[in-house]
């Protein structure tokens, strides 16, 4: 085997993992803030108008940002895992389509939910994906899949551009 080719593959793999680990959470943060501010602000303003500005303002202010924090913490663990799975498949099996990236995301989400069900509830952010039984698993899976589909798509697009840039040089 040619050492230069293998080093190029390794560089592509590392680049894809970095894209999924950095850009993925940033896009989830943007989506979470959009959902929280876009949908949460009108509801909060209505509640404050009904209940009175002074009585609930501090609690409502904290409640506005709590869903964004939960979204970020819940979606962070699967993104680097999805990036690693996709990078290995894309570089070494040469299957770098969008469906492959989504499949890597599905595998990563499933792995994090299984890890969350096995972990101690006081352990880490993985416990946000806590499913103590098989009947509880579809809900966190569906929420994470809906949130991560856009960030995985953005990461896939950037990884495709990275692959074209590396292959062109």
Residue 46 structure tokens: 């209505």
pLDDT, tens only, 72-83: 777 778 888 999
CA dist 92 and 94 (Å) reads 6
Q: What is the pTM of this model?
A: 0.75
Q: For the chain, what is the largest distance between any 2 Cα atoms, rounded to a whole number of angstroms?
A: 72
Closest by CA to 28, choosing from 60, 63, 67, is 67
- Is the separation of the CB atoms in 9 and 92 below 8 Å? yes
Cβ atoms of 63 and 45 closer than 8 Å: no
pLDDT tens digits for range 95-136:
888 999 999 999 998 888 887 777 666 665 555 566 666 677
């Amino acid at each position: 085997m040619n050492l230069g080719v293998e080093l190029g593959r390794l560089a592509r793999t590392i680049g894809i993992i970095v894209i999924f680990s950095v850009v993925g959470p940033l896009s989830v943060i943007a989506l979470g803030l959009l959902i929280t501010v876009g949908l949460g602000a009108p509801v909060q303003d209505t509640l404050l108008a009904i209940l009175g500005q002074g009585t609930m303002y501090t609690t409502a202010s904290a409640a506005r940002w709590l869903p964004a924090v939960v979204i970020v913490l819940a979606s962070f663990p699967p993104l680097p895992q999805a990036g690693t799975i996709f990078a290995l498949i894309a570089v070494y099996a040469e299957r770098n389509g969008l469906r492959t990236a989504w499949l890597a995301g599905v595998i990563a989400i499933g792995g994090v939910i299984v890890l969350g069900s096995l972990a101690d509830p006081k352990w880490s952010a993985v416990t946000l994906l806590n499913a103590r039984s098989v009947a509880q698993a579809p809900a966190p899976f569906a929420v994470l899949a809906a949130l991560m589909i856009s960030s995985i798509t953005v990461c896939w697009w950037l990884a495709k551009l990275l692959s074209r840039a590396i292959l062109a040089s």
